């Protein structure tokens, strides 16, 4: 069954924080700057081996280097090549990021970076071929593929939208991944994924499927809620189907309570096992012993029926 220690929520927490702060460096006036080698051209001033650092309360909390920085004289653009940076939001946390090229519009406070890679505490990496940034609106977007890898989760998708004002991050389409738990490996798929940081909630939407060795769930929408960094419950809505240990349960809504170790099916629930169909007001399935409890049951037997 699903583990309490499913760590879907961990991987996305670092994405929004690292992108929102790390790329803020491109529009911030640095507090310290190493003396570069400058070259004047007709349209731009070129700086080589540029290094920017920022301090907070006398402690360096971010650093950005680029092999080349090109400041245009006739337009508000800065080009950066071979970017590397680090950010330290806390003394024991370090976020590293790289990019092959960067372009900033200092008037509009927008920019883009190519071949982006973000590394969080040596535990997770996020890669994308291209990302756009709108600092006034607090948006980070890409239409390209996004690849996230970690010790407990691997996930891919197409397109990303991170909103620092709303504290949300969304993978726009073709979401697929693998979760590793103490009880085994679970694959998941969905049309899109949205995460709300303030309430630690994930929403998988559109043809959602989660499958492990002992359980297979499909639904239209799945909400994943967590408390104190642990999964508290999963709520599935719309065309819910759960198959486990030879039992198939169907309903319009199902809630999996991790602490209690039970799945509760409501809204026209029915259970099919050994060609016996049971309907009721509410169906409860306990994950430890595989027992079923049906309120106000109605039973029908159909020989030879396959589900």
- Across 33-42, 56-65, 136-145, which has the greatest mean pLDDT? 136-145
Question: Per the CATH hierarchy, to which homologous superfamily does domain 8-244 belong?
Answer: Lipopolysaccharide (LPS) transport protein A like domain (2.60.450.10)
What pLDDT, on a 0 to 100 scale, did the predictor assign at position 65?
86
Instruction: Kindly report which listed range (34-43, 88-97, 101-110) carries the lowest average pLDDT score.
Output: 34-43
3-state class (DSSP) for residue 230: strand
Question: Which value, in Å, is the radius of gyration of the alpha carbons in the chain?
Answer: 25
Which percentage of the chain shows pLDDT scores above 70?
Answer: 76
Main-chain phi, psi angles of 198, to 5 degrees: -65, -35
Tokens in use for 89? 């939001």
Residue 165 has a CB neighbour count (10 Å cut-off) of: 9
Does residue 246 register a pLDDT over 60? yes
Closest listed residue to residue 173, CA positions, set 160, 158, 186, 163: 158
34-58 tens-digit pLDDT: 445 545 556 888 989 988 776 666 6
Cβ atoms of residues 231 and 4 within 8 Å = yes
Q: Is 53 left (phi over 0), alpha (psi -120 to 50) or beta?
A: beta
Main-chain phi, psi angles of 158, to 5 degrees: -115, 120
Does residue 265 register a pLDDT over 50? yes
273-286 tens-digit pLDDT: 878 888 889 999 88
What pLDDT, on a 0 to 100 scale, did the predictor assign at position 181?
62
CA distance 274 to 255: 24
Tokens in use for 27? 């529009």
Does residue 9 register a pLDDT over 70? no
Which percentage of the chain shows pLDDT scores above 90?
Answer: 28
What pLDDT, on a 0 to 100 scale, did the predictor assign at position 4?
40
157-168 tens-digit pLDDT: 999 998 877 888
CB contact set of 56 (below 8 Å; sequence gap of 6+): none
**Residue of higher predicted confidence among 89 and 272:** 272
Kindly report, as residue ranges, where domains of CATH 2.60.450.10 are found in the chain. Answer: 8-244
Does residue 253 register a pLDDT over 90? yes
CA distance 112 to 128: 12
């Amino acid at each position: 069954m699903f583990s309490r220690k499913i760590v879907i929520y961990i991987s996305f927490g670092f994405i929004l924080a690292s992108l929102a702060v790390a790329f803020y460096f491109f529009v911030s006036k640095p507090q310290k700057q190493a003396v570069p080698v400058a070259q004047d051209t007709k349209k731009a001033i070129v700086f080589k081996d540029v290094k920017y650092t920022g301090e907070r309360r006398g402690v360096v909390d971010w650093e950005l280097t680029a092999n080349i920085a090109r400041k245009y004289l006739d337009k508000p653009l800065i080009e950066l090549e071979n970017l590397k940076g680090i950010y330290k939001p806390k003394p024991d946390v370090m976020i590293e990021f790289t990019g092959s090229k960067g372009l900033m519009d200092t008037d509009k406070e927008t920019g883009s970076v190519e071949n982006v890679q973000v590394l969080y505490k040596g535990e997770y990496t996020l890669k994308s071929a291209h990302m756009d940034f709108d600092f006034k609106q607090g948006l980070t977007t890409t239409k390209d593929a996004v690849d996230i890898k970690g010790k407990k989760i691997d996930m891919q998708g197409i397109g990303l939208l991170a909103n620092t004002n709303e504290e949300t991050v969304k993978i726009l389409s073709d979401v697929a991944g693998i979760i590793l738990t103490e009880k085994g490996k679970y694959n998941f798929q969905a049309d899109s994924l949205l995460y709300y940081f303030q309430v630690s909630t994930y929403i998988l939407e559109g043809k959602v499927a989660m499958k492990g060795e002992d359980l297979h769930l499909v639904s239209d929408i799945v909400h994943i809620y967590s408390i104190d960094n642990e999964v508290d419950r999963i709520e599935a809505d719309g065309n819910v189907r759960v198959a486990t240990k030879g039992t198939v349960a169907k309903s319009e809504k199902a809630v999996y309570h991790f602490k209690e170790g039970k799945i509760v099916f409501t809204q026209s629930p029915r259970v099919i096992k050994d060609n016996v169909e049971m309907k009721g007001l509410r169906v409860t399935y306990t994950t430890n012993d595989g027992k079923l409890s049906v309120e106000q049951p109605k039973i029908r037997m159909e020989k030879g029926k396959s589900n």
